[in-house]
Amino acid sequence: MNRKPQARQAGAGTARFTPKEAVMPLTAQALDDRSRYLSREISWLAFNRRVLEEAQDPAKPLLERTKFLAIVSSNLDEFVMVRLAEVHALAHRRSIGGQELPETGNAPHLLEELRAEIGQLVADQYRCWHVDLAPRLAQEGCTLVRAEQWTTIDRESLQAHFRNQLEPVLTPLGVDPTKPFPMVANRGLTVAVRLESLDPSATTGERKALVAVPAGNRLVTLVERSGRFALSEDIVGEFLDSLFPGYRILGRCLFRVTRDGALEIDENQTADLLSEIENELSNREHSNAVRLEVATHGDQELRAWLQQAMALDAADLCPIDGPLDLTVLFPLSDRLDRADLRDKPLTPTLYPREWAEPFARIRQGDLLLHHPFQSYQRVVELVERAAEDPRVLAIKQTLYRVSATSPIMRALMRAARAGKQVTLLIELKARFDEATNIRWARALEEAGAHVVYGLVGLKVHGKLLMIIRRDDDGIRRYCHLGTGNYNDKTARLYTDLSYLTCNEAVGRDVAALFNMLTGYSQPPEWERLAVAPLTMRKRFVEWIRREADHARAGQGSKEGHRDGTGGRIIAKFNSMVDQGICDELYAASQAGVQIDLIVRGMCILRAGVPGLSENIRVRSLVGRLLEHSRIYYFANAGDPVIGIASADWMSRNLDRRVECFVRIEDEALCHRLKAILDCCLADNVQARELGQDGTYRRLRPAKDSDRRSSFDELLVEGAGSERPLEDDDGLAPLFTPRRKGE
């Protein structure tokens, strides 16, 4: 069932510069109001381009490059389902009735631009596969064998595999006036066929049908020699004849459709949010098609038929010369026992070392864990210990994205069954994790936990855990505040920070926030937290403007910036797409504030434009780990504000989500956070710098300069963080940089 597209904002300014224009230096006077900002959509795709560069990097181990190529496909799917779908809906509403709708803006032009960018990205991705990675894998004894390359032995064994493993679950679906075009699964692989009856007396003409390829592992090992694999979709396509006895197959076309991933829920009109989301998850699989990928060798008539059946424009059709959906490459690393083709294993440090009594350890002083360099297992063990400890009275936690086998969730269920008061706010609207969250919510309720299903009109994205325990000297609150989700799986792949404390001020703030989330109460005067959508934007603006005041007072001298009196801002986060914060940073730059932003993904801010942002530098770190930690530093004339947050500088984080920033006051932890930022700013291996025109330039060590990899140095830092040594400035150095030749 196709639904009418809903009007959704197409995003911040979409100005794009040609290479010729990019060469010309920009000035503030040369920019109109909209071109002050880069396109968020193009910036999102630019991040995926940086991921593709990792796959193209010959210095990386081969299987790691293959993994990055698969990540490109996964990322593009998300972009199509989330962002392209929104622009697609707006662009098509614009032409309805021939009337211009004001909310569509320049959506048709943007849609055309995004299609072109995606097309180029996909072409480069498959060029990398065909020209570089596939031949190199073949040299190492690993090959995806196309059907036309199967040997006689291959064909015989694969026909048996088809007969025994695939054919029993295949269902041919005819399409004719009595059998309407079926609902094709989102992101599933399907074979379309044209058929002709073998009965010479038949008068029905050609028939068309669809056969869905079974989901699951697509790599089928060939028996003749190890390291050779066939794809399940090729096997289905080759042996389809058995599904259509009495007919001749005239043409085949393998295809894949990507649909709008949004959930359309009116929360104010919903009595049962959980049931409504469950219904919408089914509707998502039936939502409007946005992109149609087809095999380049597929039947042309079938391609045209599929495009028409899915109500797509010709520009929405994406021919693919190679395996559709390169996420099929993810399992290759597991299939090949070749440690020499992978990165060296990352062995997280168990920090703190003494953790037999975690509550006693936290009472000794605040802790900061940097994942995955320092194991997330300590956070898991804290919840598990809380579930067992007879002194623990209650556990409160927010949960946004958790793994399907989460040990934290199992510990919370044990705590509830043991009679502890367990209160959980599970965000059912966490995009693409709704089904997992619903399953856990039901299981936790059955175990006796109090479960709150988010808030009307807001997503709860803050990462908060509070454990209330009866200690010898009274009841104490133990808090965990983080930048990442309580997900033991992604904690191995994402860089994130965990702050553990029993500080009374933090405990009062976190308790007040939980009371607001689960009940009815007025917001307090926060002592250590800034909370979105209540105070976080206001605090960030105040801190930015205060740096501008310091810059004006310090006259912008280099010495002033060094000691913090001249205005200094460093921030590390995922995305920068809020125009209001951009404007504040532009103003601070013009006042002389030196600003460094470490932005992993989207960034609409133009850096380095004379008269506008000449004192702003933006870099992106893309490498082995997904940069996910959020750290904010404001020098404040030598009395810095520094802390971690769950929020990026995005409008949705500041205005439409419940987010949490916690100011860190422990001096050693402040020094450690600043050292992490400085390490990221010194990186000349993983880093790219953003130019005025929105393009990124990869940094390389200068001749005779040290190689500075933030990954390598933070790995050392994570292992040595319990051995603080004083440096020349009286700060504890958290790592020893590797020097050239060492």
**Catalytic residue positions?**
461
Give, in order, the Cα–Cα distances in Å from 489 to each of 62, 355, 400, 494: 23, 22, 14, 9
Give, in order, the Cα–Cα distances in Å from 587 to each of 549, 570, 584: 11, 16, 5
Residues recorded for the chain: 742
Dihedral of CA atoms 484, 489, 492, 493 in degrees, nearest 10, equals -70
Using an 8 Å Cβ cutoff, are 628 and 496 in contact?
yes
Instruction: Give the C-alpha separation, 194 to 304, whole Å.
Output: 12
Give the pairing of strands 657-663 and 529-532.
antiparallel
Exposed, middle or buried, 362 (CB in 10 Å: 0-12/13-18/19+)?
buried
Using an 8 Å Cβ cutoff, are 260 and 6 in contact?
no
Structure tokens at 588: 């601070």
Residue 526 in 3-state DSSP?
coil
Using an 8 Å Cβ cutoff, are 604 and 630 in contact?
no
Instruction: Give the C-alpha separation, 307 to 315, whole Å.
Output: 10
Enter the DSSP assignment of 623: S
Structure tokens at 226: 């190890």
- Angle between helix 579-591 and helix 536-554 axes, rounded to 10 deg: 10
> Which residues, 6 or more positions from 576, have their beta carbon under 8 angstroms from its beta carbon?
582, 597, 599, 602, 603, 604, 605, 618, 648, 649, 650
Residue 192 in 3-state DSSP?
strand
For the four alpha carbons of 463, 267, 439 and 445, in that order, the dihedral sign comes to: positive
- Return the ∠ at Cα 38 (arms to 37 and 44), rounded to 5°: 140
Exposed, middle or buried, 728 (CB in 10 Å: 0-12/13-18/19+)?
exposed
Beta strands in 260-311, from DSSP E residues, in sequence order: 289-295
Enter the DSSP assignment of 582: H
Cα of 231 vs its chain's centroid, Å: 28
Give, in order, the Cα–Cα distances in Å from 157 to each of 152, 170, 230: 9, 19, 11
- Return the ∠ at Cα 74 (arms to 687 and 45), rounded to 5°: 50
507-510 CB contacts, 8 Å cutoff, 24+ apart:
507/466, 507/476, 507/477, 507/478, 507/479, 508/477, 510/464, 510/466, 510/477, 510/479, 510/481
Instruction: Give the C-alpha separation, 47 to 75, whole Å.
Output: 10
- Angle between helix 434-447 and helix 407-417 axes, rounded to 10 deg: 20
Considering only CA atoms, which of 470, 469, 463 is closest in space to residue 379? 463
